[in-house]
Amino acid sequence: MARILFFTFDGGGNHPPTIGIATELKQRGHAVTVAGYESQRRRFEEAGLSFVTLPRSGSFVQPVGVSEMEMRMALARGVIANPDHLVEVPELAKGHDAMVVDSGLHMALAAAAALAQPSAVLFHTAAAFFKPSPFTAPFLAAINATRQAHDIAPLTGLLDLTEPIQVIVATLPELDDYNLQAPANWHWVGPIPGPAKESLDEALFDGSDHRPLVLVGLTTHTAYGPQTDRLQRILDALSQLPVRVVATAGVAVDMAAVRVPANAVVRDYLPHRALMPEAAVCVTHLGHGTLTEALLQGVPLVCLPNPMSDQIYLAQRVTTLGAGVQIDQDSAPATIREAVQTVLSTSSYREAAVALKTRIGKGGAGRAADVLEAMLPVKVVPARR
């Protein structure tokens, strides 16, 4: 049995693969602990995993109601380039045999690289998103400022990872063109969905209603600002189509302000895994978690990505692969309606999504666990189940 420590942060879409891999390792007999931010505790403990709060940085919460640049800089200070991680990682690593560090925790990665234990980095989304760009430049500057202040050599980009570190990417290579240039220590294991209910507790529509189902899923995170207006525009667009609509609003929607049309049901939360098998199309911001749930069922997408994230890159890949269409996040109802009609009436979108479904298969968490076990000392690798 090995003692394996995960370092993570409250990034929304990074939770499912972290939970999936940690659970797989636990089932194989390893002792697994997750270290992160206090805002994450409930999610990991509900998954049956041991959780500890980062003692210095773990109280950070992303601000709400600030500009995009202020949001980025707060994320850099509190998470990505936080110097406290240089102290916390060595302290918490004591007594552990290996570490898995989220790709967003750059100072934790620097600290882990200096320790004797083997370590791996986990990307929950396409690594290509982190290539040099105007979006990543402020984060790189913040990281290098912290590195310079602690006499650590600067990085030339966010993907500067040393050869001895194993890299796990929890997405399909088709969704990540960085796989064309990555070295051998990078492993694309496929999307890893987290635990979720596979059935509903209530009937949302009459059983005789066979109109196509449109599933609307917006962000479960507050980092992208209020989503009430976006949801309303989507509902207004779909109200004029012969479809059933189920929308999950998330925490960034003011439910009291939403006008729900007669053909729609809106809830704070419903498990997408229970709804996707019946969905004809998914209208979404395209976080990697929602993308994973859609492709697991071969459901085509209409993407309205948030700009401050990997979502625009993912939407471009979905469009290139023919599994959906991308429109602006501020699109008017008429534009949204036209996009949904296009996907519903053109079979090639469903066919492309189904083709990606067959590529996902099963066992992403198992493949990731195999990579991690391979870097452990032989004496602590347990027998297979």
Q: Are residues 93 and 161 in the same domain?
A: yes
Is 139 contained in some domain? Answer: yes
3-state helix, strand, coil in the chain (%, to 5): 40, 15, 45
Q: Are residues 238 and 339 in the same domain?
A: yes
Mean pLDDT score, 183-203: 86
Q: Are residues 286 and 300 in the same domain?
A: yes
Amino acid 309: pLDDT? 80
Q: Are residues 98 and 225 in the same domain?
A: no
Q: Are residues 81 and 132 in the same domain?
A: yes
Which CATH number characterizes residue 354's domain? Answer: 3.40.50.2000
Is 85 contained in some domain? Answer: yes
pTM, full prediction: 0.90
Amino acid identity of 239?
S
Select the more confidently predicted residue: 22 or 72: 22
Q: How many domains does the chain have?
A: 2
DSSP state of 57: T
252 band by pLDDT with thresholds 50, 70 and 90: confident
Q: Are residues 31 and 175 in the same domain?
A: yes
Q: Are residues 255 and 139 in the same domain?
A: no
Domain span at residue 85 reads 3-192+363-380
Q: Are residues 8 and 152 in the same domain?
A: yes
As beta bridge partners, residue 282 has 215, 301
137-149 vs 68-75: helix crossing angle, rounded to 10: 30
User: With 70 as the cut, is the pLDDT of residue 378 above it?
Assistant: no
Q: Are residues 9 and 33 in the same domain?
A: yes
Q: What is the DSSP string of 7-30?
A: E----STTHHHHHHHHHHHHHTT-
Dump pLDDT digits (tens) for 286-299: 989 899 999 999 99
What is the dihedral sign for C-alpha 365, 367, 370, 374? negative
Is 204 contained in some domain? Answer: no
Q: Are residues 241 and 112 in the same domain?
A: no
Q: Are residues 350 and 283 in the same domain?
A: yes
Dump pLDDT digits (tens) for 91-150: 999 999 999 999 999 999 999 999 999 999 999 999 999 999 888 999 999 999 999 999
Dump pLDDT digits (tens) for 65-97: 777 788 888 999 999 999 999 999 999 999 999
Token match 């396409």: residue? 126
Q: Are residues 182 and 320 in the same domain?
A: no
